[in-house]
Amino acid sequence: MGAASALQQGLARAASATVKRRSFLLRAGLTAGAAGMARHLPFNVMEPAQAADPKAAAPGVTEVKHTICSHCSVGCSVEAVVSNGVWIRQEPAFDSPLNMGAHCAKGASVREHGHGEHRLRYPMKLVAGKYQRISWEQAINEIGDKLLLLRKESGPDSMIMIGGSKHSNEQSYLMRKFASMWGTNNCDHQARICHSTTVAGVAQTFGYGAMTNSFNDLHFSKAVLFIGSNPAEAHPISMLHFLHAKELGAKMIVIDPRFTRTARFAHHYVRVRPGTDIALVWGILWHVFENGWEDKAFIERRTYGMDDVRKEVAKWTPDKVSDVTGVPEASVRQTAEMLATNKPSSVVWCMGITQHHVGTANVRALAILQLALGNIGMAGGGANIYRGHDNVQGATDVGPNPDSLPGYYGLAEGAWKYFATAWGVDYEWLKGRFSSKELMEKPGMVVSRWFDGVLEKNQYIDQPVNLRAVLYWGHAPNSQTRLPDMKAAMKLLDLLVVIDPYPTMTAAMHGRQDGVYLLPATTQFESSGSVTASNRSIQWRERVIKPLFECKTDQEIMYLFAKKFGFASELCKNIAVVHNEPVIEDILREINRTCWSIGYSGCSPERLKLHMNNKHTFNPTTLLAESGPCKGDYYGLPWPCWGTPEMKHPGTPILYDLSKSVARGGLPFRANWGVEHNGVSLLAADDSFPKESELDAGYPEFDHVFLKKLGWWSELSVAEQAQAEGKNWKTDLSGGIIRVVVGHGCAPYGNARARCNVWNFPDPVPVHREPLMSSRRDLVARYPTYDDKANFWRLPTLYKSVQAIDFAKDYPLIMTSGRLVEYEGGGDETRSNPWLAELQQNMFCEINPQDAQQVGAVTGHYIHVETPTGARLKVMAMVTARVPVGLVWMPYHFGGWWMGDDQLDNYPEGAAPLVRGEAVNTGWTYGYDAVTMMQETKVSLCRLVRA
Ligand code: SF4
């Protein structure tokens, strides 16, 4: 069925059979687990309470805009019906290969987000403790003057920009460029606190920091392990694809401390003690090696360092694994057997794996498990990492990362020179924007610890000044831990700015009388741009409605500040600006011209729009277009999409897949760590190469020298040769090296082995380390954490000195956190949405019946959760056997209360979320990943006190 016909049917049905609000709520509530939801669809044609009367719109006036749900990384398409500029209703895009006509409750109500009654409407300034309306001109001038003064007094590193992962690729890219031209690497976004450990872990193992396969590709899986992942709530429509595989016979294993809504579908459920994932994965691998279930040929041809893993795994005998993890020996063996004898098998993980002080090591253990089983680079296998926000993958790829320029180019002098050339600015000018060359090349402060950049004594931080100003630009504070420390830091700042469609909890928690500004940004539906789903498919959002109220798009706000700071012409040198708004298509074209490293080069605006308009031509299993104008492409040109748009590369649906030619989406592992280590070759074995490759052995990445040696240099045009001379495949702005190399069937980045031993990490082979807040004090001496670090991402960072304190004496329960289907992230958008707010109105904690009995906790009654930070959270008790004895679970989307007190009066009038509650992170404790500074939110300690 084509897009038009599906929509016409939808519109016709809309006139006669809209689903009333009550029905929506009932159905969403009844089917809150995604799978059920998928079966009951479609129920997504709804009639918002305050919508214009659709029947009043004359035929022909109604338009349909194609956009993408903004609430998770599955990338569900939304068809927004707009009449005379008013968004009157929405359809779920029946022809999208990603969601196939299904939406979860959040996706089915995005119109309410776009038209939200609780959004910021105009700029505001805090005066004597109250927010007052001001003009945009006053806001830009006052904030701009203050920042320029701080810059003069303390340098550009006195400010941090905390960006979002819900910005489009173009907005994210422009934000990194903006921070660079301001002169700081103090910029970050949500990926730091959701999947930075995934990106670091899999990039250092395989080559790229991304999900290897797709949601759809699960159709081919014979077994799937969900570990630290609860897609029935966090990624509901992805379950549509997995349940299809299950209907075809795929086995399902769920490993989680809590019996989740996903776990109820499992053939085999494994309840694990939080913080022991490496011990468990090595326990599974122990059985794999013991039974000879590993893929020996794959290991021999395509991996490096597996023998080092074998030595560590040999220590994890079944009895030891059971003692440390709490999992019965037979259950571990059953998991190993199910994965090894039902191949291809896939592993899916989320924040249950990543948000630990050993998060990067956790990720690597799972990546190694899949390498040992030979499950990488094939349909139905893979390391399938479900990311959080709608564009967290894209914002990571090209956005405001403190340790990298767009496309993961790093911060070395060569990277800056490359981007100075690409941006058309003088390198010396760019360098002069920073306090020093040293700071220009040093990773900046991170969002998880910006407040330590304010509170820490200056002599202990690795930049000349403490932070004095914070721009929260599309990011809520309640998603970060240690909120009492954050509140103390907010009070000390010279300037605190929120740029967001909603005031967020920042507006209510700072405890200040002045020095706070709130600037209303538009939602994703009031701007166009591209967004990268978790599977690397890039989709184009059309602008659904013009900016509401006095809201401005993020790109316009950046441009206005750049004008104030005097670098607007440099920011937009190759980007047209219309009415102060940089043209989104031009920004994407600049991304295309610069981000060769990850293949964001072939995905032009024109190609992406063509895909969106021809969704129905893509196969919902393979994502391949089988007919029509996109024939031969994979949906959304999943990156890498090599070369220029004119090269028409189809995208890469499965990473590291040798069964296809590189020109058709195949790839080997990346040669990113040299050609040998300790005398051992890192290049792939002689018989390991992608289909149709003219080189039948491993090889390093391509540069001008290698091309000349092979005799391929003459295939570049004279103009390409002029640009490619002295360059490699990533820095050749002509794209000629990539074009020629792919033409010979080779991967521009080389053909290497995946690394099981990452010698540049704190743990080259992952080892189990007890959580900082461990309740198993007997295990701390045997499995200690890291030594404290004096200088890590510009800050001192504690490990052993925290673990040394026995908090378990006073806080005997393990505390962990997770996601609900109704809400997302810090929750401001979704808790302000009346359709969703009605589904889940109270912050709560799950308590096992035995623990509840100890303190007299009763479902529906308040209880206090006290933690080692000194926090006392007032939440509603839910007594349930979903959690085991000794474990307390809380959702992380709530905010707006502060230790029992509703902060309603602190919000700007009319802009408080409908549902407010205690933020779990007010109680969350210290702990950071040893590679990326990811915060620990999955294992801490608490006690319960009757309210
Ligand atoms: Fe789809 Fe995720 Fe939106 Fe739900 S929240 S509709 S699964 S994109």
- Domain identity same for 361 and 396: no
> How many distinct structural domains can be found in the chain?
4
Ligand 1 in reach of 591 Cβ (< 6 A): no
CATH of the domain at 185: 3.40.50.740
DSSP category for residue 941 = E
Ligand 1 in reach of 101 Cβ (< 6 A): no
Q: Ligand 1 atom closest to Cα of 824?
A: 5
- Domain identity same for 798 and 938: yes
In this predicted model, what pLDDT tens digit does every residue of 106-160 receive, in sequence order? Answer: 999 999 888 888 999 999 999 999 999 999 999 999 999 999 999 999 999 999 9
Hey, whose CA ends up nearest to atom 2 of ligand 1? 72
In this predicted model, what pLDDT tens digit does every residue of 7-45 receive, in sequence order? Answer: 333 333 333 333 444 444 344 333 333 333 333 333 333
With respect to residue 629, please indicate whether it lies within any of the assigned structural domains.
Answer: no
CATH of the domain at 217: 3.40.228.10
- Rounded to two decimals, what is the model's pTM? 0.94
Substitution site in 100, 103, 215, 823 for ligand 1 pocket (most atoms within 8 Å of beta carbon): 103
d(CA 477, CA 509): 9
- Domain identity same for 425 and 570: yes
The partner residues of 227 in beta bridges, in order of sequence, read 255, 349
d(CA 580, CA 556): 6
Q: Which whole-number Å values give the CA distances from 128 to 131, 140, 908, in the listed order?
A: 8, 20, 13
In this predicted model, what pLDDT tens digit does every residue of 442-496 receive, in sequence order? Answer: 999 999 999 999 999 999 999 999 999 999 999 999 999 999 999 999 999 999 9
Instruction: Tell how far the Cα of 937 is from the centroid of ligand 1, in angstroms.
Output: 23
Ligand 1 in reach of 113 Cβ (< 6 A): no
- 225: its two tokens: 């392990």
- 198: its two tokens: 């995934």
Q: Which whole-number Å values give the CA distances from 431 to 275, 325, 404, 557, in the listed order?
A: 43, 50, 15, 24
- 468: Cβ contacts below 8 Å, ≥ 6 apart: 150, 154, 158, 159, 454, 493, 494, 495
Ligand 1 in reach of 237 Cβ (< 6 A): yes
In this predicted model, what pLDDT tens digit does every residue of 419-450 receive, in sequence order? Answer: 999 999 999 999 999 999 999 999 999 999 99
CB 316 within 8 A of CB 283: yes
- Domain identity same for 841 and 907: yes
Average pLDDT over residues 347-356: 97
- Domain identity same for 399 and 471: yes
- Domain identity same for 565 and 435: yes
With respect to residue 634, please indicate whether it lies within any of the assigned structural domains.
Answer: no
Report the SS3 class of residue 751: strand
d(CA 854, CA 615): 56
**DSSP string covering 328-341:** -HHHHHHHHHHHHH
Task: Please state, as a whole number, how many other Cβ atoms lie within 10 Å of the Cβ of residue 412.
Answer: 12
Ligand 1 in reach of 38 Cβ (< 6 A): no
Q: Which whole-number Å values give the CA distances from 611 to 160, 628, 665, 807, 849, in the listed order?
A: 37, 10, 17, 55, 52
509 versus 46: the higher-pLDDT residue is 509
Ligand 1 in reach of 531 Cβ (< 6 A): no
Q: Ligand 1 atom closest to Cα of 68?
A: 8
Instruction: Tell how far the Cα of 780 is from the centroid of ligand 1, in angstroms.
Output: 40
- Domain identity same for 225 and 344: yes
Ligand 1 in reach of 351 Cβ (< 6 A): no
- 10: its two tokens: 């939808």
Substitution site in 24, 31, 106, 230 for ligand 1 pocket (most atoms within 8 Å of beta carbon): 106
d(CA 757, CA 765): 5
**Residue numbers of the domain that contains 208:** 196-385
Given pLDDT bands bounded at 50, 70 and 90, which one contains residue 47? very low
Instruction: Tell how far the Cα of 216 is from the centroid of ligand 1, in angstroms.
Output: 15
Compute φ and ψ for 869, nearest 5 degrees. Answer: -75, -10
- Domain identity same for 178 and 266: no
Report the SS3 class of residue 794: coil
What is the reported pLDDT for 627?
96
CB 467 within 8 A of CB 455: no
DSSP 3-state helix, strand, coil percentages of the chain (rounded to 5)? 35, 15, 45
Instruction: Tell how far the Cα of 394 is from the centroid of ligand 1, in angstroms.
Output: 17
Instruction: Tell how far the Cα of 74 is from the centroid of ligand 1, in angstroms.
Output: 6
With respect to residue 873, please indicate whether it lies within any of the assigned structural domains.
Answer: yes
- 777: its two tokens: 């004090």
In this predicted model, what pLDDT tens digit does every residue of 731-750 receive, in sequence order? Answer: 999 999 999 999 999 999 99
- Domain identity same for 375 and 360: yes
129 φψ region: left (φ > 0), alpha (ψ -120 to 50), beta (else) = left
Compute φ and ψ for 936, nearest 5 degrees. Answer: -85, 115
Burial class (CB in 10 A: 0-12, 13-18, 19+), 721: middle
Ligand 1 in reach of 104 Cβ (< 6 A): yes
- Among residues 511, 516, 461, 472, the alpha carbon closest in space to that of 488 is found at 511
- Domain identity same for 371 and 432: no
Q: Last residue of a domain, which of 597, 615, 641?
A: 597
In this predicted model, what pLDDT tens digit does every residue of 678-721 receive, in sequence order? Answer: 999 999 999 999 999 999 999 999 999 999 999 999 999 999 99
Ligand 1 in reach of 110 Cβ (< 6 A): no
With respect to residue 639, please indicate whether it lies within any of the assigned structural domains.
Answer: no
Q: Which H, E and C letters describe 842-863, residue by residue?
A: CCEEEECHHHHHHHCCCCCCEE
With respect to residue 591, please indicate whether it lies within any of the assigned structural domains.
Answer: yes
Instruction: Tell how far the Cα of 47 is from the centroid of ligand 1, in angstroms.
Output: 19
* Residue that the structure tokens 């969703």 belong to: 836
For strand 789-792 and strand 795-797, is the pairing parallel, antiparallel, or unpaired?
antiparallel
Ligand 1 in reach of 389 Cβ (< 6 A): no
With respect to residue 725, please indicate whether it lies within any of the assigned structural domains.
Answer: no
- Domain identity same for 214 and 309: yes
Instruction: Tell how far the Cα of 913 is from the centroid of ligand 1, in angstroms.
Output: 21
Q: Ligand 1 atom closest to Cα of 34?
A: 7
Ligand 1 in reach of 69 Cβ (< 6 A): yes
Hey, whose CA ends up nearest to atom 6 of ligand 1? 107
d(CA 221, CA 149): 58
Instruction: Tell how far the Cα of 97 is from the centroid of ligand 1, in angstroms.
Output: 14
Q: Last residue of a domain, which of 597, 619, 638?
A: 597
Report the SS3 class of residue 681: strand
Ligand 1 in reach of 239 Cβ (< 6 A): no
- 720: its two tokens: 């390409």
Q: Last residue of a domain, which of 342, 359, 385?
A: 385
- Among residues 208, 98, 77, the alpha carbon closest in space to that of 654 is found at 208
- Domain identity same for 225 and 278: yes
Ligand 1 in reach of 236 Cβ (< 6 A): yes
